[in-house]
Amino acid sequence: MKNLFIISVIVLTTTITSFAQYGSEGSKDARSMSMGNTANAISKNVFSIGTNPANIINSDEKITLSTLLPIPSISLTAGTNFISINNFNYYFGGVDGKGRILSESDKQQLNSLFSNGGLMITNTSLNLFSIGIKLKPSIGTFGFSINDIVEGSVTIPQAISQIALYGNPQNSVYNFNDSKASAWWIRDYSLTYARELSEIHQNLFSSIGAGVTFKLVQGFAYAGSQQISSSFSTGSQNQLSFEANNSFLSAFSDNFHVKYSFSNDTGKTKMSLFPTPAGSGFGVDLGLNASIGQKWNFALAVTDIGSINWNKNTAVTYSSGQYTATDLFDKSQQDSLKNKFKGTSDSTGSFSTNLPTALRLGASYKFYFKETFPGTLLVAMDINQGFNNMPGNSTKTRVSIGAEWKPMDWVPFIRTGFSFGGLTGFHWGLGLGIEAGVLEFNLSTYDMQTLVSPSSGKYLSLAFNSLWKF
């Protein structure tokens, strides 16, 4: 099953391998990551591209640049929602060099970890180049950005843990329909324009801004489950009955030289900075922001409206059928079962996948302390709602709160925040921001709880970036 192997490799390698916000859960820049992935109302300059295009006008500088030097802008997150290092060591680490004998209570607790499916997830991005140019208010602000995004997830069905813990007693049925897998490597070329809407006459807000981003999206690799419907059952005479109806879609750049069963490609993988796209599409971000004085700021955006059409090296890999075995130790029955479900790849022509469309709401307030407390304090809150479950996105609502404290001019920005809900639950962000003349540096993690208590952590994340300001 060549394609199934490739799908597994892509998903698993991305879990151990970002700048633009992609989807309600996706990759983050270092500043927003440190504030619990809170960015909708507080992002500014080129860091707002992908989050809220209207916020690009919120820049104190005329020109901002993000380049690969002095340090590239990268963020990455990987982890699982179902098992911590503590859990893994307890259930699988053994005792005094011997395997642990699990009690019935242990088995029930381990099985309960998979109650919502065993999710492993990653999202990673690299900003290759970004520039923002702020002209006078009547003209507006322009931005351009190039970002690579690698995202993937795989869900392990609860039936796997049930079989591992309890075997396959007679008259039992196990289904794997809650299995899912998807991963992609995409690149977007984003052109952003925003300006203040001074012609709108109203008395509530000090200013209102609007922005739009147009994206050319290139896809270099995609692999994802289209349908998974499989199960097996045990009969009263110890026979095992297998049933499957599974299909996976995939598309790969010519640079991968993927060999399907119906192709004759014999080349070797040859990567470059600009691989041949396996698909392309267009996306649009729409955003609004409004402020009241120097303290309040509000934001609304809908991002990644669009899709990708995959048309290079596309295939559907499927396995289907039924089979009953009476003795799995019999080689002929093993071979028959293998042949029945080994999978077949067929060329599928082009197919489309949606971009991770999301609705973003945000509000922030800035405290200007004088004698009661040093410096300034920015607090913000976000609500993110995805409209699909594409990589980096979730239809589960995510809420976050964050704070940024600047004690004194010579002290770095100190940031923290918390994220709740969504696909991956609770996260605690922490980070620093340093301004050094024309350069700005940011460093953060989205999972401080893992650094404080590594054995109980489920996720690991890191982001850093630099910004030139003129």
Give the confidence band of 159 by pLDDT, cuts at 50, 70, 90.
confident
Per-residue pLDDT tens over the stretch 370-411: 777 788 999 999 999 999 988 888 999 999 999 999 998 889
Between 236 and 40, the higher pLDDT residue: 40
Per-residue pLDDT tens over the stretch 317-327: 888 877 777 76
Rounded CA gap, 283 and 212, in Å?
A: 11
Q: What is the pLDDT of residue 3?
A: 43
DSSP-assigned states of every residue in 167-229? ---TT-EEE-TT-EEEEEEEEEEEEEEEEE-TTS--SS-SEEEEEEEEEEEEEEEEEEEEE--
Matching CATH number, 2-81+116-469, of 2.60.40, 2.60.120, 2.40.50, 2.40.160 = 2.40.160
Residues 324, 325, 331, 337: is their CA dihedral positive or negative? positive
Which has the closest alpha carbon to 391: 423, 425, 352?
423
Tokens 């099953």 map to which residue? 1
Per-residue pLDDT tens over the stretch 51-93: 999 999 998 899 999 999 999 999 988 888 888 888 887 877 7
Most confidently predicted of 73-87, 147-161, 388-402, 448-462: 388-402
Vertex 357, ends 381 and 190: CA angle to 5°?
Answer: 95
Mean pLDDT value across residues 218-225: 94
Rounded CA gap, 22 and 27, in Å?
A: 6
Q: What is the pLDDT of residue 27?
A: 61
Q: What is the pLDDT of residue 345?
A: 83
Q: What is the pLDDT of residue 329?
A: 66
Rg for the chain, CA atoms, rounded: 25
Mean pLDDT value across residues 245-261: 89
Which has the closest alpha carbon to 398: 38, 63, 149?
38
Return the domain boundaries, the chain: 2-81+116-469
Q: Are 107 and 166 in contact (CB under 8 A)?
A: yes
Rounded CA gap, 49 and 426, in Å?
A: 25
Rounded CA gap, 250 and 316, in Å?
A: 7
pTM of the shown model: 0.87
Give phi and psi for 246, each to the nearest 5. Answer: -120, 145
| Secondary structure percentages of the chain, helix, strand, coil, to 5 | 15, 45, 35
Between 433 and 337, the higher pLDDT residue: 433
Provide the residue type at 61 as one letter: E
Q: What is the pLDDT of residue 324?
A: 78
Q: In sequence order, which residues have a C-beta less than 8 Å from that of residue 404 and are 6 or more positions away?
A: 31, 35, 42, 377, 378, 413, 414, 415, 433
Q: How far is CA 103 from CA 35, 85, 107, 112, in A?
A: 42, 20, 6, 14
Range of weakest confidence among 67-81, 323-337, 427-441, 443-457: 323-337
Burial 129-160 (b: 16+ CB within 10 A, else e): ebbbbbeeeeebbbbbbbbbbbbbbbbbbbbe
Per-residue pLDDT tens over the stretch 274-313: 899 999 999 999 999 999 999 999 999 999 999 999 999 9
Beta bridge partners, 124, equal: 76, 150
Give the pair of three-digit tokens for residue 120: 């492993």
Is 21 a residue whose pLDDT tops 80?
no
Q: What is the pLDDT of residue 41?
A: 95
H/E run at residue 130: strand 118-134
Rounded CA gap, 30 and 288, in Å?
A: 23
Q: What is the pLDDT of residue 168?
A: 67
**DSSP classification of residue 437:** T
Vertex 457, ends 100 and 428: CA angle to 5°?
Answer: 160
Is 206 a residue whose pLDDT tops 80?
yes
Between 69 and 175, the higher pLDDT residue: 69
Give the confidence band of 20 by pLDDT, cuts at 50, 70, 90.
very low
Q: What is the pLDDT of residue 417?
A: 97
Mean pLDDT value across residues 213-221: 97
Chain centroid to CA 458: how far? 15
Range of weakest confidence among 113-127, 346-360, 431-445: 113-127
Instruction: Provide the phi-psi class of 343: left if phi over 0, else alpha when psi is between -120 and 50, else beta.
Output: left
Mean pLDDT value across residues 217-232: 89
Mean pLDDT value across residues 141-166: 86
Which has the closest alpha carbon to 27: 136, 165, 109, 125?
125
**DSSP classification of residue 51:** T
Rounded CA gap, 99 and 109, in Å?
A: 17
Mean pLDDT value across residues 242-259: 88
Tokens 């991005």 map to which residue? 125
Q: What percent of the chain has pLDDT over 90?
A: 51
Q: In sequence order, which residues have a C-beta less than 8 Å from that of residue 104 and are 6 or more positions away?
A: none
Q: What is the pLDDT of residue 6?
A: 43
